[in-house]
């Protein structure tokens, strides 16, 4: 397994590599069609922010990418391999290159932080206990938690620490891409900003690719390289923050130039 220290930051050429490619995705639950004709690419080393109205289907897309819900149509390729056609061995190799932080952190409450971080290691790797302890401590340190946090249970941690611990677990196998589902929800603005800084630092130092579902305008403006907006069951608009600020699509306009955005003094960026 490659250690964090050995990984290089992404070069311009790396960024040409498409890590995740979704084409013409359709997902329905009975009569309710949630996604239809959705296409999206994520490049290596990019932080993509994924937004959309509540209930639009952001989590459903994430679950479809991870094959946790079935899709009725379309193709999802991870690292160039069509996940539906991958052999068990290919699927295992792909799974080992993914890290996921679900909403609410979803740590196991009966396990300490260190044991939580070791869950993916136990599932996918066969390592001696001492080495797993050392690797888990490296992850704890990497996400900015104090060493003593490793022995604590989730109930003994603050909301910000839980998010960091969940991120440490998502990074347990040194993934190439992490999927973060509303990572800063429930955090105070300072903790949220620190979390965003951490994500950018990990991208810069490890070359991590980040897919971040978020409602947090601060995260979108400060951490994300590109934003994709989910609406009408597909990706309605995608581009940079400046593209969002220029968009005349009603939902995008209301979201990025509405009252909340004005309070953050972001809408001034929309002026030519």
Ligand X SMILES: Nc1ncnc2c1ncn2[C@@H]1O[C@H](COP(=O)(O)OP(=O)(O)OP(=O)(O)O)[C@@H](O)[C@H]1O
Q: What contacts 208, CB < 8 A, 6 or more positions away?
A: 45, 175, 176, 177, 178, 202
Mask for 57-86, x = binds ligand X (CB under 6 A): xxxx--------x-----------------
Asked if 50 and 214 touch (Cβ cutoff 8 Å), the reply is yes
The pattern of x and - marking residues 32 through 51 that bind ligand X according to CB under 6 A reads: --x-----------------
Nearer to ligand X, 174 or 216 (CB): 216
232 three-class SS: coil
CB of 214 to ligand X, least distance (A): 9
Environment class of 167 (CB within 10 Å of its CB; exposed 0-12, middle 13-18, buried 19+): buried
Pick one of 55, 128, 250, 272: the residue that binds ligand X (CB under 6 A): 55
Q: How many residues sit in the footprint of ligand X (CB under 6 A)?
A: 11
**DSSP-assigned beta bridge partners for residue 78:** 20, 81
As measured in angstroms, the least distance from the Cβ of 3 to ligand X is 34
Other Cβ atoms closer than 10 A to 259: 9
Q: Is 100 in the site for ligand X (CB under 6 A)?
A: no
* Nearest approach, Cβ of residue 70 and ligand X (Å): 10
Residue 39 Cβ vs ligand X, minimum distance, rounded to whole Å: 17
Rounded-to-integer distance, Cα 19 and Cα 45, Å: 9
**Positions in the binding site for ligand X (CB under 6 A):** 29, 34, 52, 54-60, 69
């Amino acid at each position: 397994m490659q250690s964090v220290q050995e990984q290089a930051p992404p070069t311009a050429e790396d960024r040409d590599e498409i890590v995740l490619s979704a084409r013409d995705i359709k997902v329905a639950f009975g009569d309710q069609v949630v996604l239809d004709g959705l296409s999206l690419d994520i490049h290596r080393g990019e932080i993509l922010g994924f937004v959309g109205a509540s209930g639009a289907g952001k989590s459903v897309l994430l679950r479809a990418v991870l094959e946790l819900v079935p899709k009725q149509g379309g193709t999802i390729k991870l690292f160039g391999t069509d996940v539906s056609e991958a052999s068990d061995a290919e699927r295992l190799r792909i799974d080992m290159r993914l890290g996921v932080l679900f909403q609410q952190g979803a740590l196991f409450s009966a396990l300490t932080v260190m044991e939580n971080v070791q869950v993916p290691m136990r599932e996918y790797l066969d390592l001696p206990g001492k080495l797993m302890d050392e690797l888990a401590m490296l992850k704890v340190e990497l996400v900015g938690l104090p060493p003593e946090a490793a022995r604590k249970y989730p109930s003994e941690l603050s909301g910000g620490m839980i998010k960091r611990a969940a991120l440490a677990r998502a990074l347990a196998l040194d993934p190439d891409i992490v999927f973060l589902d509303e990572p800063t929800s429930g955090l105070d603005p300072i903790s949220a900003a620190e979390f965003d800084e951490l994500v950018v630092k990990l991208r810069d130092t490890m070359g991590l690719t980040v897919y971040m579902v978020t409602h947090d305008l601060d995260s979108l403006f400060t951490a994300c390289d590109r934003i994709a907006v989910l609406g009408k069951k597909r990706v309605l608009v995608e581009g940079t923050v400046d593209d969002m600020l220029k968009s005349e699509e009603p939902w995008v306009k209301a979201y990025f130039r509405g009252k909340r955005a004005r309070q953050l003094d972001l809408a001034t960026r929309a002026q030519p």
